[in-house]
Structure 1
Amino acid sequence: MLSPDLQDEISVAYEARKELGPEYERAVLDSFAAGAAEAIDRRVDARLAQRAPEARQQPDNSHVAVPVFSLLFGVGGSIWLTAGAGADADSVFAMWLGIVLLNIVFGRMHHRSR
């Protein structure tokens, strides 16, 4: 549903177009579009301001996913490499070294983005 302000702006633009004639139609439409965009921006800003306290209450724990999945992958990979694939200790060590390096890089990237 259109807000009363937007309805008023539409009426004003329509009446201005009728009075000024078709040669000013583009200017009237541009003015209306700018006003409508400002009204939409104000409404979006108001809604975002209402939601901002909710967003602050919920901590961002997305940085926990990489270490947790790395640990699960490392344990599962170690079991598979030793029991299933019959790999030696060097293969397991190389896998864990890669996991540790990945976590170090991710940690530094996450630290820089804060």
Structure 2
Amino acid sequence: MDTRQDDLRRDLDATLQARKELGKEYEDELVDSFMKRLDSRLDARVEHSVAQRLDDYAPHPHDRHQRPRRQGWGKRSGNGLAVVSLAFGIPLTAIASNPTNGGFFGLLTCWAGIVGVNFAAALGERRNREDRRPRSDWD
């Protein structure tokens, strides 16, 4: 038997023994006391269980729903593509804006491509997130 059940059984036995010793006139107080202890134990167990289940979830700043927290280097980072785009954007800007390589039109084409790639990646991530979201009967 579980130690929590043993403690609960001992509390119940003690309450019943106290009822036998004190009589029926204290029965309501004894039952109320036992129920308070039982409620506090149940509350503690529920809080512990909820804390374990929510341990891998973090609130999303733009959404009221919960989503799994990204952990480790193996998961995709939402800002990784943006940082890489900016890092490659600097030399590509220098190359594309050179008058022999297209000048201002080359610069616009280069940055339109960078923005397009980032937009497509963000749109794909949003679709993946919506596909993973559990649907209810009301959707």
TM-score category (smaller protein): 0.3 to 0.5
- 1 or 2, which has the higher strand percentage? 2
Tell me which structure has the larger Cα radius of gyration: 2
The answer to which structure, 1 or 2, has the higher relative contact order (CA under 8 A, 6+ apart) is 1
> TM-score, structure 1 length as denominator?
0.47
Q: Which one has a larger percent helix, Structure 1 or Structure 2? A: 1
